[in-house]
Amino acid sequence: MENSNKRKERVIPGDELAVIEEYESGKGTHTIDGQIHSSVFGKTKFDNKNKSVEVKGPRSTSELPQVNDQVEGVLENDKTLRIKKINGKISFGSLVGLMAKTKMPNWGTNDYIRATVVSLTNGITHIVVKNDNDDDGVIRSTCNMCADRVVKVQKGVKCVSCGFFKYKKLAADFQG
């Protein structure tokens, strides 16, 4: 990738970048009447090899979860996940996902978990902790009884203070 000297490096929304005969419109850009314009403020990236142009901003709130995306967040209650990251990227929007119903919930309120988006039906982000995916599961947790620190034991977590054990599906990178 390389920037042409003639082109603007720093742009804000509405700035003209190129024409569609020259480049393809990439992330952070939009097209009006054959002209590619910037949609966000940031720095331009002209890819002369693939003939595409994109704008990379210091912030991007544009990412919304899609099906099969991995999301991370805090469980506000048994069903609602406040999404903090989408595919490892910080999400600035206050988005929530709905945890799919299971016979035995293997997570608890205030757990920081990673889960997979399974559907976007009726505008609701349905997410599920997949048992067959090592990445999915609880990343950080506290004791559900005394809120103290927990440690990983077989198939769950145990409180270091009161000894309360709870079965939880832990992510491979569980941090306690």
Partner 1 sequence: MSKNNIERISGRAPDELRNVSIKAGVIKNADGSALIEFGKNKIMAAVFGPKEVHPKHMMVSDRAIIKCRYHMMPFSTDTRKRPNISRREIEISKVIREALQPAIIMEDYPRTAIEIYIEILQSDGGSRCAAINAASTALADAGINMRDLVAACAAGKVNGQVVLDVDDTEDKTGEADMPIALLPNTGLITLFQLDGNLSKEEFDKALELGKTGCDKLYKLQRDALSEKYFNDKNGNKEE
The smaller minimum CB distance to partner 1, of residues 15 and 24, is found at 15
User: What is the CB neighbour count within 10 angstroms for residue 127?
Assistant: 26
* Residues numbered 47-66 forming contacts with partner 1, rule: CB under 8 A: 57-62, 64
The smaller minimum CB distance to partner 1, of residues 42 and 137, is found at 42
Rounded-to-integer distance, Cα 142 and Cα 74, Å = 12
Residue 99 found at the interface with partner 1 (CB under 8 A): no
Residue 12 found at the interface with partner 1 (CB under 8 A): yes
Nearest to 150 by CA among 129, 131, 169, 175: 175
Nearest to 64 by CA among 94, 39, 30: 94
Rounded-to-integer distance, Cα 134 and Cα 162, Å = 28
Among 120, 140, 146, 165, binds partner 1 (CB under 8 A): 120
Minimum gap (Å) between residue 61 Cβ and partner 1 = 5
Binding residues for partner 1, per CB under 8 A? 8-16, 28, 30, 32, 37, 39-42, 57-62, 64, 92-96, 120, 123
